[in-house]
Amino acid sequence: MRKPTRPATTQKKLVRCAVYPRVSTDDQARGEYSSIESQRDICEHYISVHKEDGWAATHYFEDPGYSGKDLNRPGIQELLAEVRAGNIDMVVVYKIDRIARSLREFYEFWRVLEDHGVNFVSATQNFDTSTPMGMLMLNMLLSFAQFEREMTAERTFHKLAERAKRGKWNGGWVPLGYAYEKATQLLQPHPDEDELLKSMYQLAVKLRNGTEVAKSLN
What amino acid positions are annotated as catalytic residues?
A: 24
Pairwise CA distance, residues 76 & 36, whole Å: 14
Identify whether the C-beta of residue 90 lies closer than 8 Å to the C-beta of residue 130. Answer: yes
Pairwise CA distance, residues 178 & 189, whole Å: 4
Pairwise CA distance, residues 20 & 98, whole Å: 8
Pairwise CA distance, residues 188 & 216, whole Å: 26
Identify whether the C-beta of residue 30 lies closer than 8 Å to the C-beta of residue 71. Answer: no
